[in-house]
Amino acid sequence: MLAVVLLEAKLNLWGDSVFSQKAIFNYLFSKDRGVVRVKKPEEVKTAKNNVTTLDFIGLVEKNGYSAEEHYTITEDGYILVLHRLLGNPLFKDQRSRKVVFLQHGLLCTSDCWVIFGAGKDLAFLLADKGYDVWIGNNRGNAYCQSHIKISPQNKEFWQFSYHEIAMRDLPAMIDFILRYTKQKNLHYIGHSMGTTILFTLLSMKPEYNAKIRLGICLAPVAIWKEISPLLEHFRSKMPKIMEFLESNGMYEIASLSSTSIRIGRTLCTDKAITQPICAAVIFVIAGSDPVQLNTTAMPEVFSYAPAGISLQTIRHFYQNIITQKFQALDNGYLDNYKKYKQKTPIMYDLKKVTAPLALYYSVNDLLASKSNVLEIYKYLPNVILLEENPYKLFNHLDFLWAIDAKTLLYDRLMKLLQEMNIKLVFFIFMLTAALLEAKLNLWTNLTHSQKVILNYLFPKDPDIVRVRKPEEIQTVNNVTTLDFVGLVERYGYPTEEHYVTTEDGYILVIHRILGSPLSTGHQRKKIVFLQHGIICSSDCWVMIGAEKDLAFLLADGGYDVWLGNLRGTSYCRSHIKISPRSKEFWQFSYHEMGIRDLPAMIDYILSYTKQQSLHYIGHSMGTTTLFILLSMRPEYNAKIKLGICLAPIAIWKERIPLPELIFNNLSKIKEFLYSNEIYEVASLSSTSITVGRTLCSNKAITQAVCIAIIFLIAGSDPKQLNIVEILSNYPDGASVQTFEHYIQNIITKKFQTYDYGYVGNYNKYGQVLPLIYDLKKVTIPLAIFYGANDMVALKPNVLETYKYLPNVILLEENHYKLFNHLDFLWAIDAKTLLYDRVLDLLQKFDNQVWIIDDELTYV
């Protein structure tokens, strides 16, 4: 405060009065704010008579995002400002986005969610994931100092606490957002007092529970079992302090003013010797965390916070601290009776808060202490997650402004949102599928919903007919779909179908595109072998059509294109001895595909074409099987000239966003499936095709659900999805053991063989532990293509795999930031976004042209 006094004196902000009193009062209780909001960074100033700072729109637009400002009026006349972050500039299609509503805490505004910028603040990260982000402002903050009748200079304006904010502001904003977006519910994320008002609203107006899909509470505040040393210091003094303030006409505390902004921009800069004092003030209030405090950004933070609150709100929190109860403001017996119809304040009943909640807290938070959060947790009936931050110094303000907030908190938070969406979308989808089944009379008796779900995910009788002419396709009575030959020949390309038997008796189908109408008479180039990923078949490379699919483009380029099918797909359900209805048929994972299917197909192709080597292009599991083959049978490195890996999967440094239930109950899930004689997952069937053609068509209102399921699995990319073309030939099945093998590797974070247990491992591998696949034995030249938005082949996992591969000639992230796992196959603009680069790489490799240019980045 001495530094503040000196600054005030230096700037000559006061006349002949006592400096210290006026400096303190103008900082904490400024009546003349003198702040001008601007929208362009170059207009920000700190001049003596002109202090300017960016408004919310300016903060957002300087990062290349767009924003909107909306207004709503509460039932008691306060005019509230709502902000909306329209989306990542890469998102062109803004339809069907889930609404996330962010609500600030004490002394903040909507600005507090966007101060640090894109890639850091939660609001921007949510927009990057495709959410429709709305941000609220409470009465009395810097944006909400308007009323239809009362001036903020009037005492009456400030006669509110968080009770009124919860009972009037919050429902007004929620109702406005839902009405404007035509949604029925939203995700709610609140920080500090933003959680207090949520608990208050849902306990006092329980009907609003139905409007909250998920409530995420950051540093939740409600019941005060213990308080920080700072609050303890002021505890006994608060009544006199508040009496003094009211007697001097002070009804608002710590508003955003020219003085507070000047102090932040002058005393808290990196060059100021007083900067440690600024940091110390933060640490005394919120908890000490010097590692995560961005001291350089403190002047920026103090340009937007503190942003004001009524003195009555402070009194309300103080009363709750003293009584250790979560209750309404105590106005005295008489006024309580007038307001609440009883002499004592109303208790907020947390048992009425039935919306699903996730509570995030930290041990170093001095305002939302661990013991207080755990006390709140006892009374809430539907907490789906209670999580202590693993970083032990995480404090109250780190939830908003920690340097590493993304990795310390936000990534997990967004993963939770995604998991909630998966559960909800799956439920809606299967309910709709059940109604469709009923309408089509596909079942005649017994438990209807169970049969729908089981037949969609685990059909024992696929009941489909493959045809080769488009006019033979039908859905009613007899479900038919084009086979590979039909898919290719409809565009005038000649094809062949070949068969090979593995050493353990599985009969595999290999497809070949003989040539292209565009390359007739040209000398054929090298062999390119395409290998599909999980729950795919050779169809996945040719479903979209000529001049779009990679297989057609390679044929147009003169390559001899072969396409493999792995055991268990709709083309490879035959064995020389075992029926696919037998459990024994399905006792394989991608290990057997890698060491048996892949070498059988490669040897057949090379023998048939009289060649000694080929180019290999694999997607997803098609790369997993390649790595396994070359590490377990290194002699096959000589048979592959170049391996192109699209969305490669091997080492799992990070988990994919599956519900923890799957990881924690793997053995129970397998036991349940096997006890019901279910050994295969998501095969191509009449049910899956019918659902795809009916529920996912352009005319179906349920198409949005189909799209949501794909995005939740693969990554959201509304601009590049062409859903109509794919669901007649996808998904195409995989063994339960294949999925189990992946989950085992995800849990162990190792690239190793299937774990049968000590005895089973010893019988199969000659050792009690699974074998580790040695990637250093993969010596062929490899080109790795990945997408930053791929939710299956996550970027950190791809980079971890890259570390162990000795001969990677190209490691490239797709420049389109929304490129997801299935875009490698079916993006509308896959040719320009990826395939042109793949073809260019093949051509340069065959011509031995090795240069670094603007199009390819070699390593």
Q: Please give the average per-residue pLDDT across 265-282, as a whole number.
A: 92
Of the residues 30, 110, 161, 192, only one is catalytic, namely 192
Amino acid at 471: E
H/E element holding 84? strand 78-87
CA-closest candidate to residue 567, choices 548, 526, 529, 595: 595
With a cut of 50, say whether residue 44 has pLDDT above it: yes
Q: Please give the average per-residue pLDDT across 163-169, as a whole number.
A: 98
pLDDT given at position 433: 46
With a cut of 90, say whether residue 505 has pLDDT above it: yes
pLDDT given at position 690: 80
Mean pLDDT lowest among 50-59, 498-507, 638-647, 846-855: 846-855
Mean pLDDT lowest among 173-187, 293-307, 450-464: 450-464
Q: Please give the average per-residue pLDDT across 373-385, as a whole number.
A: 93
Mean pLDDT lowest among 103-112, 420-429, 512-521: 420-429
If DSSP states are collapsed to H, E and C, what string results for 585-632? Answer: HHCCCHHHHHHHHHHHHHHHHHHHHCCCCEEEEEECHHHHHHHHHHHH
pLDDT given at position 438: 45
pLDDT given at position 298: 95
With a pLDDT cut of 70, the percent of the chain lying above it is: 86
**pLDDT band, very low/low/confident/very high, at 658 (cuts 50, 70, 90):** low
Number of neighbours of residue 607 by Cβ within 10 angstroms? 10
12 exposure class (CB count in 10 Å sphere: 0-12, 13-18, 19+)? exposed
**Interval 199-238: pLDDT, tens:** 999 999 999 999 999 999 999 999 999 988 878 888 888 8
With a cut of 70, say whether residue 786 has pLDDT above it: yes
Mean pLDDT lowest among 153-167, 804-818, 840-854: 840-854
CA-closest candidate to residue 486, choices 475, 497, 498: 497
Query: Burial letters for 775-785: b for 16+ Cβ neighbours within 10 Å, e otherwise?
Result: beebebebbbb
- Which range has highest mean pLDDT (13-17, 94-98, 850-854)? 94-98
The residue ranking higher by pLDDT, 68 or 12, is 68
pLDDT given at position 424: 52
**pLDDT band, very low/low/confident/very high, at 849 (cuts 50, 70, 90):** low
**pLDDT band, very low/low/confident/very high, at 668 (cuts 50, 70, 90):** confident
**Interval 93-140: pLDDT, tens:** 444 588 999 999 999 999 999 999 999 999 999 999 989 999 999 999
Average pLDDT, rounded, for the chain: 87
H/E element holding 321? helix 311-323
pLDDT given at position 565: 97
Q: Please give the average per-residue pLDDT across 528-537, as a whole number.
A: 96
With a cut of 60, say whether residue 542 has pLDDT above it: yes
Mean pLDDT lowest among 134-148, 330-344, 561-575, 845-859: 845-859
pLDDT given at position 714: 86
**Interval 383-411: pLDDT, tens:** 989 999 999 999 999 999 999 999 999 99
Of the residues 104, 163, 191, 396, only one is catalytic, namely 396
**pLDDT band, very low/low/confident/very high, at 36 (cuts 50, 70, 90):** confident
Mean pLDDT lowest among 242-256, 697-711, 792-806, 844-858: 844-858
pLDDT given at position 319: 95
pLDDT given at position 16: 41
With a cut of 60, say whether residue 443 has pLDDT above it: no
**pLDDT band, very low/low/confident/very high, at 853 (cuts 50, 70, 90):** very low
Pairwise CA distance, residues 195 & 425, whole Å = 26
Q: Please give the average per-residue pLDDT across 307-328, as a whole number.
A: 95
Asked whether the beta carbons of 657 and 419 are under 8 A apart, the reply is yes
Residue for token pair 């990196």: 270
Amino acid at 502: T
DSSP assignment of 561-586 equals EEEE--TTSTT--EESS--TTSGGGG
With a pLDDT cut of 90, the percent of the chain lying above it is: 67
The residue ranking higher by pLDDT, 856 or 710, is 710
Q: Please give the average per-residue pLDDT across 317-326, as a whole number.
A: 95
Active site residue 532: no
pLDDT given at position 502: 97
pLDDT given at position 651: 96
The residue ranking higher by pLDDT, 243 or 106, is 106
pLDDT given at position 235: 83
CA distances 182 to 99, 188, 208, Å, are 10, 17, 16
Is 73 in a helix, a strand, or coil? strand
DSSP assignment of 259-272 equals HHHHHHHHHSSTT-
Mean pLDDT lowest among 38-42, 62-66, 103-107: 38-42
pLDDT given at position 522: 52
- The token duo for 220 is 């939740």
Mean pLDDT lowest among 7-16, 41-50, 303-312, 535-544: 7-16
- Which range has highest mean pLDDT (86-95, 99-108, 510-519, 680-689)? 99-108
Q: Please give the average per-residue pLDDT across 497-518, as a whole number.
A: 94
pLDDT given at position 132: 95
| Crossing angle of the two packed helices 703-714 and 686-695, in degrees rounded to 10 | 110
pLDDT given at position 427: 47
pLDDT given at position 754: 96
Active site residue 613: no
Q: What residue ranges define each of the domains in the chain, with the CATH number in brackets? A: 58-255+306-403 (3.40.50.1820), 450-846 (3.40.50.1820)
With a cut of 60, say whether residue 15 has pLDDT above it: no
Residue for token pair 């086979």: 483
